Amino acid sequence: MRILFMGTPDFAVASLEALVTNGYQVVGVVTQPDRPKGRGRQLMPPPVKEIAQKYELPVFQPEKVRQEEALAQLEELQPDLLVTAAYGQLLPQRLLDMPKFGSINVHASLLPKHRGGAPIHRAIINGDKQSGVTIMRMVQALDAGAMLSQVAIPIDERDTVGSLHDKLACAGAKLLLETIPKIADGSITETEQDESLVTYSPNISRDDERIDWTKSARAIYNQVRGLNPWPVSFTTSNGKIVKIWWVDLVDETTVSGKQPGTVLRTSKDSIEVQTGKGIVAIRELQPEGKRKMKAEELLRGQTIEAGYQFGDANE
């Protein structure tokens, strides 16, 4: 089977590599153009491009895949199936209709829940007990196509968006390999999504990253995990940004009478902070202009006394 693959970030790498190592003929890989990154703003290839080059696959990086020149190039490849995984652009109907077996997508959620660009982050932030992967038909609407296969993955209490991402990427690759043969022999069952159960997970904004200390300890705990290791939650201290990499739940009920964001006490390796309901202990943080460090390391060089305030008064 001649497969055209479209993907960009790390999540797509496992699926592409699974196709190649399991004998599928990947006739082309479409990914986003190289972008400047880091302090030097050097052009860096997306992860999928690096893997495609490793296997000497033809790579296409159109700025806009719906342009005539790009579409004509892809038509010349005569793919039997189009597989996408977090590609990052809306695809025109002409492209979706191109392969004889159609176009499918590896989506990191249990559709119809968490349609949109940040399903893994939102699943943890929302406190979901499970996530999963859905292989779906591509249509001209956001993640709305019929479902071909699905696998659920439990979310561990200590999962971060990073660890859950890796689990889902592997599960998606495995599910893709199980699904393609059924598409080829016509035995696949397609199930339309129940529109009454649809929820959306938009991309993470700067407001999503800011810790609102009036929220409960559980909500803040989920937020910090759901943004670790990227883009990382933050608060402020004396007008400066402090990234919060990890907190532990101390309790979920205590209301001390102190303003949310107030430090209640410190120990050798943690900074306990009052929330709107309950207490969290900061374990890893990154003051502005400094590297990520454990609370223990910060407290060896800086005294933080009870009453110290995180978060501006107007937050």
Tell whether 111 is in a known binding site.
yes
Which one, of 44, 69, 45, 54, lies nearest residue 17 by Cα? Answer: 54
Q: Is the pLDDT of residue 287 over 90?
A: yes
Structure tokens at 173: 């690759």
Burial class (CB in 10 A: 0-12, 13-18, 19+), 286: middle
Confidence (pLDDT) at 40: 82
Domain 206-309 in CATH: superfamily?
Answer: Formyl transferase, C-terminal domain (3.10.25.10)
What pLDDT score was predicted for residue 313? 54
pLDDT grade, residue 233 (50/70/90)? very high
Higher-confidence residue of 127 and 41: namely 127
pLDDT of residue 182: 98
Q: Which two tokens stand for residue 167?
A: 């689990």
Give the model's pLDDT for residue 73.
96
Q: What is the mean pLDDT of residues 68-80?
A: 97
Q: Write down the pLDDT at residue 111.
A: 98
Give ranges for CATH 3.40.50.170 in the chain.
Answer: 2-197
Q: Is 110 annotated as a binding residue?
A: yes
Residue span(s) of the chain under CATH 3.10.25.10 come to 206-309
Q: Is 131 among the annotated ligand-binding positions?
A: no
Whether pLDDT at 256 is above 90:
no
State what percent of residues in the chain have pLDDT above 90.
Answer: 94
Mean pLDDT of the 57-74 span:
97
Of the chain, the end-to-end C-alpha distance in Å amounts to 55
Label residue 38 by pLDDT band (50, 70, 90). Answer: confident
- pLDDT more than 70, % of the chain: 99
* pLDDT top residue among 314 and 66: 66
pLDDT at res. 109:
98
**Assigned token pair, 294:** 């454990």
| Residue 221 banded pLDDT, cuts 50, 70, 90 | very high
Token reading at 284: 């890893």
pTM for the whole thing?
Answer: 0.94
Q: Which long-range contacts (CB under 8 A, 24 or more apart) does 240-246 make?
A: 240/287, 240/288, 241/288, 242/285, 242/286, 242/287, 242/288, 242/310, 243/285, 243/286, 243/292, 244/211, 244/282, 244/284, 244/285, 245/283, 245/284, 245/285, 245/286, 245/292, 246/282, 246/283, 246/284
Q: What is the mean pLDDT of residues 83-88?
A: 95
User: Is it the case that residue 41 has pLDDT exceeding 90?
Assistant: no
List the CATH code of the domain at 2-197.
Answer: 3.40.50.170
What pLDDT does residue 314 have?
53
On the question of pLDDT at 43 being above 90, the answer is: yes
Hey, what are 10's tokens?
Answer: 């790390």
pLDDT for the residue numbered 39: 75
Identify the residue with better confidence: 126 or 254. 126
Is there a binding annotation on residue 270? Answer: no
Question: Phi, psi (5° rounding) for residue 298?
Answer: -60, -45
pLDDT > 70? residue 153 = yes
Task: Please give the average per-residue pLDDT across 67-90, as a whole number.
Answer: 96
More confidently predicted of 313 and 287: 287
Render pLDDT for 173-204 as a digit per residue (tens, 0 to 9).
999 999 999 999 999 999 999 999 999 999 99
Q: How confident is the model at residue 168 (pLDDT cuts 50, 70, 90)?
A: very high
